[in-house]
A = this chain, B = another copy of it.
């Protein structure tokens, strides 16, 4: 028996198992609350007003987003404390200024140039965070470059309306660890580096700065987070195969699947063609032996979906097509007109692509 939600699905559609998503939300919230840390979840993962309300019901009041557009969307939905966790984009200064009049807005800078531009092109009070690179090497001032960090702090201090709120980092290198214990080591090292900067800035007169960190492997695998101010994981509400590979979750904890119609079968190759391609799932993949996998496959069930199928994977993606390779034993269970669930490699990208097509299983 399939859950009745599947009856109305005609095209690739996100299916969320709400009870599992709520468990995932609660687990991390318990961990932060018990340490006195503010949980500020990253909403880029779901980008959904409805899912945002689940967080609200759980007691969340502050959120993270990755673009001005997302910030504007959630501000319209009543969220009043929002950090845009992306380097300040000077071309959006006017819209940032307008939004900062309505909500408590956090903006990231990582150079004196950006800090000056922000100061000169806005008038609203804005909470500014200095973005620190604690080892991931994507964005931010490298943590031991105290001179550059202090220079940015000084520019912000000179501004009549900007406030230096704190130091913010994303230890994204927790995504490429070989073992869960490394996640904890990276988190401890990141935190120690931010504390070191905090101490130096404190000697310069910048006291009471906050520290903000956050990523899903740390949220999931580190029992004792330590002492800091704000935590910003996002993916953990849904999880995905990438997180399962890191060890952040079990397959059962993945709360999001993509329901895809079966449109053709090729017995001679044990291949099943689904309506579900790169424009629905993204092209993120995981290595799988000699080849790659774009997702695992399950069948719909009464409470969501089955365990993923053995010897079966989403092997290839075109713009709209997905090609599943399966075993000769399982092949007959796929029927044209039926649905499969794809357990995604990267749930954030799939949710971004399919935001307009969501079904919830309570």
Q: Which residues of B contact A337 (CB under 8 A)?
A: 90-91, 117
Contact B10 A92 (CB under 8 A): yes
Contact B11 A264 (CB under 8 A): no
- Interface flag for A173 (CB, 8 Å): no
Partner of A282, one of B44, B142, B278: B278
| Most-contacted residue by chain B among A172, A279, A284 (CB, 10 A) | A279
- Interface flag for A88 (CB, 8 Å): yes
Contact A264 B10 (CB under 8 A): no
Q: Which of A210-218, A302-310, A319-327 contacts B (4 or more CB under 8 A)?
A: A319-327
Partner of A269, one of B67, B68, B114, B137: B137
Given contacts A11-B69, A111-B264, contact A275 B348 (CB under 8 A): no
Q: Which residues of B contact A138 (CB under 8 A)?
A: 273, 316, 318, 321, 323
Given contacts A66-B320, A264-B114, contact A279 B87 (CB under 8 A): no
Complex CA–CA separation, A279 to B113 (angstroms): 27
Partner of A66, one of B319, B323, B348: B319
Given contacts A11-B92, A117-B337, contact A264 B139 (CB under 8 A): yes
Q: Which residues A139-188 have CB closer than 8 A to chain B?
A: 139, 142, 172
- Interface flag for A37 (CB, 8 Å): no
Complex CA–CA separation, A138 to B264 (angstroms): 10
Contact B284 A91 (CB under 8 A): no
Partner of A86, one of B89, B92, B263, B349: B263
Q: Which residues of B contact A316 (CB under 8 A)?
A: 138
- Interface flag for A257 (CB, 8 Å): no
Question: Shortest beta-carbon distance, A156 to chain B, in Å?
Answer: 16
- Interface flag for A9 (CB, 8 Å): yes
Question: Shortest beta-carbon distance, A296 to chain B, in Å?
Answer: 19
